[in-house]
């Protein structure tokens, strides 16, 4: 069997070779840069590429001691994270050329662990719904999703083994689904958000992309500081996970692509699943998430709306208007409703280890004027639960389709272990 090119090597395998000095960081970095050189003109995943600095850092790592679990691994960073050595524009022309003085916490953690930052990836305008320039790597006429569009597309197209993104509604899971990679949204507040452009304190979550579950587990271990996430022993399950199949109250809006993926999953996991229906008290989560996001985004972007309103896209202006219409009193009540919903959600895992739920309506829509609907992600983001998207099927036009797994709050290591076990059975 022929050995795949270096740029196609899974992150966890490359990390092991780098740690044993059986692979040079310079060789892996240059292989990724060569791939970027071949494909970036079509894909447009990057807003800033730091090729020379990345090679210099790789040379230093090859000459020195092993720095951490990401030693020598190239990674990309959504252009919503501050970086002291690269501009950060937050996907908006009003911040063109903006140069922060310090790295975001997540960036610094990845560098401290030995990661090599190749560049900043495209995000939508201020991580909202107005699209960036990135195209779907499998069909450039289709959206890659958003708002972490460049990160998901770059990993899917073998430009990078790992990339970071954020999710406030569906900005990790949806692009992972549309681009056909594994996306991981940790439990809320498990990863520091310092230095990341804020939209919603209640919802914003830092996560990332890889090409398999063990890849995102490696990244998750660095971001959360929880070594269990990437411990090989964590993936040796003593028993098959109990899987609750949760179509959610929005199931009627799922396209045939998602319905077929659901049927495939039920067949592949026969005997391990049981249906789970959300209680009536949790039926209004999507509407609640929209209100919380709109209110907090309108306030988080106060400077932009006060001083640069004319430079905001019409969709973002409309979201801000919706948020300003939600009073502080109403928001306080919404937060009480949310606290109660999060308490009730814990009971969903009394009889199952993980929930399986839709990730998206279906495969990536045609056209580049929209990033798709985050409908099936809103509730889980609101609840703050950890989620992993698993790609394993194809839609009506041949693009990737999959489903997401949802875990109990704080049980990220158990969710990732179950996701690895389930993904192997869905793809073999």
Any idea which residues carry the catalytic annotation?
78, 147, 171
Best CA proximity match to 153, nearest among 250, 284, 42: 42
**Cα separation, 58 vs 405, whole angstroms:** 35
3-class SS shares of the chain: helix, strand, coil, % to 5: 45, 15, 40
Best CA proximity match to 44, nearest among 145, 165, 135: 135
| C-alpha to C-alpha distances, 15 to 52, 117, 223, 228, nearest whole angstrom | 22, 15, 16, 16
Q: Are the C-beta atoms of residues 194 and 157 closer than 8 Å to each other?
A: no
DSSP state of 50: -
Residue bearing tokens 């003085």 = 101
Using DSSP's 3-state secondary structure scheme, residue 264 falls into helix
Q: Are the C-beta atoms of residues 103 and 195 closer than 8 Å to each other?
A: yes
Residue 395 is encoded by which pair of tokens? 């839609």
**Cα separation, 87 vs 370, whole angstroms:** 26
Residue bearing tokens 């076990």 = 421
- The kind and range of the H/E element at 356 are strand 354-358
Best CA proximity match to 406, nearest among 421, 386, 426, 425: 386
**Cα separation, 406 vs 142, whole angstroms:** 27
b vs e for 125-145, b when ≥16 Cβ sit within 10 Å of the residue's Cβ? bbbbbbbbebbbbbeeebbbb
Q: Are the C-beta atoms of residues 371 and 131 closer than 8 Å to each other?
A: yes
**Cα separation, 414 vs 428, whole angstroms:** 22
Using DSSP's 3-state secondary structure scheme, residue 132 falls into coil
- Conformational region of residue 90, where left means phi above 0, alpha means psi within -120 to 50, and beta covers everything else: left
**Cα separation, 244 vs 405, whole angstroms:** 9
Contacts of 190 (CB under 8 A, 6+ apart): 223, 224, 226, 386, 410, 412
Give, in degrees to the nearest 5, the angle at Cα 363 between 316 and 210: 85
């Amino acid at each position: 069997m022929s050995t795949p090119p270096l740029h196609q090597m899974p992150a966890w395998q490359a990390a092991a070779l780098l740690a044993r000095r059986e692979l040079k960081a310079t060789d892996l970095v240059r292989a990724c840069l060569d791939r970027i050189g071949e494909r970036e003109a079509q894909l447009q995943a990057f807003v800033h590429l730091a090729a020379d600095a990345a090679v210099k850092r790789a040379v230093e790592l090859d000459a020195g001691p092993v720095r951490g679990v990401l030693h020598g691994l190239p990674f990309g960073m959504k252009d919503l994270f501050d970086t002291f050595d690269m501009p950060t524009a937050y996907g908006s022309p009003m911040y063109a050329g903006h140069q922060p003085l310090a790295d975001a916490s997540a960036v610094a953690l990845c560098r401290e662990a030995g990661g090599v930052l190749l560049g900043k990836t495209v995000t939508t305008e201020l991580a909202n719904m107005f699209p960036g320039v990135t195209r779907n790597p499998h069909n450039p006429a289709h959206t890659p999703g958003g708002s972490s569009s460049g990160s998901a597309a770059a990993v899917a197209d073998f430009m990078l083994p790992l990339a970071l993104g954020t999710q406030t509604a569906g900005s990790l899971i949806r692009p992972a689904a549309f681009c056909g990679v594994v996306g991981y949204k940790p439990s809320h507040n498990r990863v520091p958000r310092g230095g990341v452009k804020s939209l919603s304190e209640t919802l914003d979550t830092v996560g990332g992309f890889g090409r398999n579950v063990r890849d995102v587990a490696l990244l998750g271990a660095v971001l959360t500081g929880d070594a269990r996430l990437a411990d090989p022993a964590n993936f040796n399950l003593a028993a098959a996970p109990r899987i609750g199949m949760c179509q959610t109250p929005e199931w009627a809006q799922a396209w045939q692509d998602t319905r077929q993926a659901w049927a495939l999953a039920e067949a592949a996991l026969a005997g391990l699943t049981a249906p789970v229906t959300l209680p009536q008290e949790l039926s209004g989560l999507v509407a609640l998430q929209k209100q919380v996001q709109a209110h907090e985004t309108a306030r988080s972007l106060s400077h932009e709306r006060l001083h640069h309103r004319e430079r905001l896209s019409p969709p973002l202006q409309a979201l801000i208007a919706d948020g300003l219409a939600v009073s502080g009193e109403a928001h306080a009540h919404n937060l009480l409703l949310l606290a109660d919903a999060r308490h009730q959600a814990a009971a969903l895992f009394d009889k199952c280890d993980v929930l399986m739920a839709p990730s998206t309506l279906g495969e990536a829509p045609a056209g580049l004027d929209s990033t798709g609907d985050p409908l099936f992600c809103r509730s889980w983001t609101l609840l703050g639960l950890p989620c992993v998207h698993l790609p394993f099927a194809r839609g009506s036009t041949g693009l990737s389709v999959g489903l997401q797994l949802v875990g109990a709050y704080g049980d990220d290591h158990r969710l990732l272990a179950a996701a690895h076990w389930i993904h192997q059975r869905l793809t073999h």
